[in-house]
Structure 1
Amino acid sequence: MTPRRSMESRRIALGGIFSALSIVVMLMGGILPFATFSAPAIAGILIVPVAIEFGMKTGYLLYAAIGLLSVFILPDKEMALIFIFLFGFYPLLKARLERIPARVLQWAAKLTLFNVCIFCMYGLILFVFPIGAVVAEFEEMGTVFIASLLLLGNLAFVIYDMALVKMIGLYCAKMRPRLMNIH
């Protein structure tokens, strides 16, 4: 087998494994009510090794494939949309956002992106393609509760961003050498 074919086979195999793992994580997340946000966040992290090994283009292609599959396979459409609108692409986009020289501007860009994605996604869920259960939840909540939830979401996003740094570091230091030694 030529080195080019070997690399292509490796790319397909690794992409397939990590995309299957992402879908399984989100399917398992459908079992637990609080996993609506955590399962897509974990699934998004699983795209990072493919992007590190084979480039951002392959990472975004994997994101698109997982996003499309999740819309058709997952019973929880809110979870699929959370992956598509934020957690699927954010781990890939994070590297670009961190090139912004000023730390304050970096965080402003990250938090703006988070809030725009959340507002667009829930706007779509509530007004364009209403998901009955989500609409009912929002009708029960008051404005103060929704604002508090958004504030907590921003805090959780900051923690997620910091955890991503640790997870990527862990992958590069511990898992990558082992993964690349598999023949």
Structure 2
Amino acid sequence: MVKMYNRESKRVAIGGIVTLLSTLSLYMSSILPTNRLFFFALSTFFLASIVIEINTKFAILVYISSALLSFIMIPNKTIVLPYIIFFGYYAIIKSIIERINMLLIEILIKLFLFNLSIYIEYTIFSKVLLGDIMFKLPAWILFILIQLAFIIYDYSFSICIYFYRTKIRTRTKK
């Protein structure tokens, strides 16, 4: 019985720490705009550690708590939207999709979800918050560049997860 409480206490503590770190990284993205994408990716990596160390269901709770806390604490709500719409849950979705174990289908599903989130963000920002958004590049070039950026992001994220599992996790489990 004592071990059960210790395990549950450990999960809650780790969840609280990851919620704090995710919220802090989003706050940093609001005050350091040149590193915004780095801090979004960092917040995703923190959630990946919950998926790896605990489970997907608990990671969903941590994602929700991080999103709510960030929405309450960060004055610039436009910073929180990309986290809520894509970056926050991507580690969870990635772990579920990669269980399919068919690379082409995995990539297509991830690209579909990414493009859906881009569409939602674009709609929110252009129709509700900012008005018409003008781009210097033609739409088709921008579309291709965004797809390439996502594929690079996904691959880099996979490398970070591999590094976490093989280097960091093995050292902390000893």
| TM-score relative to the length of structure 1 | 0.84
The corresponding residue for 2:96 is: 96
- Asked if structure 2 preserves the Cα contact closer than 8 Å seen for 1:60 and 1:89, the reply is yes
CA RMSD of aligned residues (A): 2.0
Q: 1:160 aligns with which of 142, 153, 160?
A: 153
Q: For 2:107, give the aligned amino acid.
A: W
Q: Give the share of equivalent positions with the same residue, in percent.
A: 31
> How far is the alpha carbon of 1:115 from its aligned partner?
0.3
Alignment length (residue pairs): 174
Matched position secondary structure for 1:99:
coil
Q: Within 5 Å, which residues of 2 pair with 1:1-183?
A: 2-127=2-127, 130-132=128-130, 135=131, 138=133, 140-141=134-135, 144=138, 146-181=139-174
> How far is the alpha carbon of 1:29 from its aligned partner?
1.3
Return the alpha-carbon distance in structure 2 between the equivalents of residues 75 and 28 of structure 1: 12
Ranges in structure 2 where 5+ consecutive residues have no aligned partner: none
Structure 1's 102 and 48: CA in aligned 2 closer, same or farther, altered over 3 A? closer
What whole-Å deviation, never above 9, does each CA across 1:83-141 have from its counterpart, x for those lacking one?
Answer: 111111111111221233432222111111100111012212222xx223xx36x1x43
Return the alpha-carbon distance in structure 2 between the equivalents of residues 10 and 99 of structure 1: 27
- Asked if structure 2 preserves the Cα contact closer than 8 Å seen for 1:82 and 1:121, the reply is yes
- Asked if structure 1 preserves the Cα contact closer than 8 Å seen for 2:45 and 2:157, the reply is yes
Ranges in structure 1 where 5+ consecutive residues have no aligned partner: none
Matched position secondary structure for 1:89:
helix
Q: For 2:12, give the aligned amino acid.
A: I
